[in-house]
C-alpha cells in the first residue's frame, strides 16, 4: 500500500529555537509552532483556538533557524510527521507526534537591528543595471523643475 506523509504549516514560534550539535557535528534544532484558527460557533459567538506543534530541524536548516528565528516570528514550513515513543524514568510509556522540517520560508518583512518588524518597502532600491537595455538609456521625461521665462520657447 502506498503512503504519503507531508505537512504544510504556517504559524509563529512559541519559543526560541534550541540548537544542539551531535558528536558528529550535525546541528539539531527544536522549536514550537502555534497556529491560530478563528471561527463562529452555532450561537454566533466568535471562537479562537490555537494548535501547538513541536518542530525538529536538522543540519544547515537547523543552524539557519537557530540564527534567524526567535519567539513570535512567523514561519512557513513543509515537513513530515514523525512519531517518537520512549519509556519515561518512572516506567510509563510515552509518545509524541512532531513534524520533521524539510523546507521552510521566511514570512513577513525583514527585522531591524532593534528587532522591530519592517517591510521590504523600507529597503533601498537597487541601482539600474548598466547596458543597452537599461533604464539609463531610456529617453528622459520632461523635467518638472521650475522654469524661468527665458526657458519657454514661445
Residue 145 placed within a domain: no
What pLDDT, on the 0 to 100 scale, is given for residue 148?
Answer: 53
Residue 153 placed within a domain: no
Residue 72 placed within a domain: yes
Q: What is the CATH number of the domain that holds 76?
A: 2.40.50.140
Q: What is the pLDDT of residues 90-107, one digit of tens each?
A: 999 999 999 999 999 998
d(CA 66, CA 58): 11
d(CA 65, CA 106): 10
- What mean pLDDT is predicted for residues 64-75? 93
What pLDDT, on the 0 to 100 scale, is given for residue 30?
Answer: 95
Which of the 8 DSSP states describes residue 123? S
Dmax (CA) for the chain in angstroms is 99
How far from 140 is each of 15, 69, 73, 76, CA to CA, in Å? 53, 45, 44, 43
pTM confidence score = 0.66
- Report angle CA 32, 38, 43 to the nearest 5 degrees: 140
Buried b (16+ CB within 10 A) or exposed e, 61-76: bbbbbbeebeeebebe
The domain of 80 spans: 1-37+48-111
Give the number of domains in the chain. Answer: 1
126 has a pLDDT exceeding 80: no
Smallest CA-to-CA distance from 100 within 83, 84, 76, 80 is with 80
What pLDDT, on the 0 to 100 scale, is given for residue 19?
Answer: 95
What pLDDT, on the 0 to 100 scale, is given for residue 93?
Answer: 94
Amino acid at each position: 500500500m502506498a503512503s504519503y506523509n507531508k505537512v504544510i504549516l504556517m504559524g509563529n514560534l512559541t519559543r526560541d529555537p534550541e540548537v544542539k550539535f551531535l558528536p558528529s557535528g550535525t546541528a539539531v534544532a527544536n522549536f514550537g509552532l502555534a497556529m491560530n484558527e478563528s471561527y463562529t460557533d452555532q450561537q454566533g459567538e466568535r471562537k479562537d483556538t490555537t494548535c501547538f506543534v513541536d518542530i525538529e530541524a536538522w543540519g544547515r536548516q537547523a543552524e539557519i533557524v537557530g540564527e534567524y528565528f526567535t519567539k513570535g516570528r512567523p514561519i512557513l514550513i513543509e515537513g513530515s510527521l514523525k512519531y517518537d515513543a520512549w519509556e519515561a524514568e518512572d516506567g510509563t510509556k510515552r509518545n509524541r507526534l512532531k513534524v520533521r522540517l524539510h523546507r521552510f520560508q521566511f514570512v513577513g518583512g525583514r527585522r531591524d537591528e532593534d528587532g522591530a518588524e519592517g517591510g521590504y518597502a523600507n529597503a533601498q532600491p537597487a541601482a539600474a543595471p548598466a547596458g543597452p537595455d537599461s533604464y539609463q538609456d531610456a529617453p528622459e521625461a520632461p523635467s518638472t523643475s521650475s522654469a524661468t521665462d527665458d526657458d519657454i520657447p514661445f
